[in-house]
Amino acid sequence: MLGSIFFGVASPSEAAGVGAAGATALALLRRSLDGAVLREVSRRTARTTSFIFAILTGASCFAVVLRGLGGDQVIEAAVTGLGLGATGLVLLLMAVCLQTSFLTPPVGPALFYLQGVAPPGVELRHLYRGVLPFVGLQLLGLAILFTWPELVTWLPDLLYR
């Protein structure tokens, strides 16, 4: 699935559909797909989708209010006024940093999503403790990218010449 996305054969949604169809076909072949399983899968899918849409709705409302009150201009002025230079701005705004913020306090929206789909008994504190190695790896990856910035452009340059 990832190869089809990477090489432009399929969009992420199309690849997900193919993956779901493959999983369904395997369940049918193994004779493990019955009405009870289908109901449970549908229930869990609806619950997960609801959590995702609640997060997206909240984020969209926040963004609309922020832009409506001119917050985006205030943030732009504050960031450009810091005088950090290119490297400082990348450290402040790079996507890896953003992903790391999704996994760390005080908010950690990805962790709330995970808590919603976790089995009973898994508490938020367990999830926070569980993501620490991933946060460490993300920070290590970020340090590697700053040490060797050509790693970021090597593969795209190779593929899209």
| Distance from chain centroid for Cα 106 | 17
Peptide bond into 105 cis (omega under 30): no
- For residue 45, the SS3 value is helix
pTM comes to: 0.48
- Give which of 109, 112, 134, 137 is closest to 123, Cα–Cα: 112
Cα separation of 48 and 37, whole Å?
16
Cα separation of 124 and 126, whole Å?
5
More confident residue, 69 or 93: 69
Instruction: Output the pLDDT for position 93.
Output: 67
The whole-number average pLDDT for the span 76-95 is 76
In the numeric block, which tokens belong to residue 47?
Answer: 């619950």
